[in-house]
Amino acid sequence: MAPARNRAAAPRTRRDAATTVPREFVHRPTPEDILITSWRRLDETHFSLTAQWPHNHGYFTPSHGRHHLILTGETIRQAGLLISHTELGVPVGHHFVLGDLAYTTHPEHLAVGDGPTELTIDVTCSKMRMRAGAMAGGHFDMTIRKENGIVATGHSGVTVTSPAVYRRIRGAQLTARHVQGPLPEPVPHGLTGSTKSEDVLIAPTDRPGRWLLRVAPGHAAVVNPANDHVPGMVLLDAAQQAARALTSPATFVPYAFGTEFRRYAERDVPCVIEAHLVPSAMPSTTTVRVTGFQDGEPVFVSTLTALDERH
């Protein structure tokens, strides 16, 4: 059965700064965080999108003259959400469970210019599971390009649940009153690649290579008020901050980033972030594995690889 398209979501293109993709289609509460600018269907499993990466975003600030590493992951996430809602029949209000997210960037095409970077995204859908004309789960492969070459390739795997099923899965967590304790002091922002202390997502512990997740309440760039758990993109950013802190004072700028999500990260349970060096599959590279734990159980596992400084 073909998916039921969202009739309110006819293909559109952003024509000026005031016109944008509806925020409910990419699950971003603020317009300046919306990266996708247009989309169109090519056939039943292929889509073409355009996106725009800001050169002066308040949170996704460039590093060493290149676009922020997390922009690639956020672009893949937003593209999958948009296609799911507009072309694959998923109603707004349904919940997405991210199983994995992985991408490899081409650093030579990540340079930041004087203005936004215009991109195109080729998307292929596979392993699609449909239920009542709507996607219940699937796999998105993406190639992100700009005029002079491929910027990144990557994929994500998602499962979709209705509000009723999500309520059963999350149970008391949906109605629990989350009490934010004192926010621990961050590690120095220079260790994480952040430009200011309030953007640091890890706090020191008494053990090397181990930190506590810290998320400032109300931080619009990383916290969606609608979430009853810590968003996956926050965990990705915490992972890359931990990898940079582990390898300091060396300059660690990852070009490849893969994450497997094991369970929800609860907002009111301490999340321990551990990072350690692992053997690299490629010569002249450094690889760090970062794991987040709550109550001793893994929440996510990330693997980040960077070129060695001499390269």
Spatial neighbors of 311 by CB under 8 A, at least 6 apart, are 284
* Sheet-wide strand order for 134-146: 36-41, 46-53, 117-131, 134-146, 149-161, 95-105, 254-261, 297-307, 285-294, 272-278, 210-213, 202-204
DSSP 265-296: -BTTS--EEEEEEE--SSTTEEEEEEEEEETT
User: What is the pLDDT at residue 196?
Assistant: 85
Give the other-Cβ count within 10 Å of 57's Cβ.
17
Contact 275, 289 (CB under 8 A): yes
Average of per-residue pLDDT across 5-14: 41
User: What is the pLDDT at residue 20?
Assistant: 67
Phi, psi (5° rounding) for residue 154?
-170, 180
pLDDT (tens digit per residue) in 80-104: 999 999 999 999 999 999 999 999 9
Domain closes at, from 107, 137, 168: 168
- Same domain? For 29 and 153 the reply is yes
User: What is the pLDDT at residue 1?
Assistant: 42
- Same domain? For 72 and 106 the reply is yes
DSSP 161-195: E-HHHHHHHHGGGGT------PPPPPPPHHHHT-S
- The domain that contains 107 carries what CATH number? 3.10.129.10
User: What is the pLDDT at residue 219?
Assistant: 64
pTM of the model: 0.90
Amino acid at site 289: R
Neighbouring-strand partners of residue 256 = 104, 305
How far is 275 from 279, CA to CA, in rounded Å? 13
pLDDT (tens digit per residue) in 38-83: 999 999 999 999 999 998 887 788 877 889 889 999 999 999 999 9
pLDDT of 217 strictly over 80:
no
First to last CA, the chain: 51
- Same domain? For 217 and 298 the reply is yes
- Same domain? For 185 and 244 the reply is yes
DSSP 106: -
- Same domain? For 194 and 123 the reply is no
Tell me the residue range of the domain where 67 lies: 23-168
15 class by beta-carbon count within 10 Å (0-12 exposed, 13-18 middle, 19+ buried): exposed
How far is 87 from 44, CA to CA, in rounded Å? 9
Residue 8 in any domain: the answer is no
pLDDT of 285 strictly over 50:
yes
Contact 209, 276 (CB under 8 A): yes
The tally of domains found in the chain comes to 2
Residue 13 in any domain: the answer is no
How far is 266 from 272, CA to CA, in rounded Å? 12
Would you state the structure tokens that stand for residue 122, as one six-digit string? 């080729």
Residue 110 in any domain: the answer is yes
pLDDT (tens digit per residue) in 194-207: 888 888 999 999 99
pLDDT (tens digit per residue) in 240-254: 999 999 999 998 989
Residue 11 in any domain: the answer is no
pLDDT of 309 strictly over 80:
no
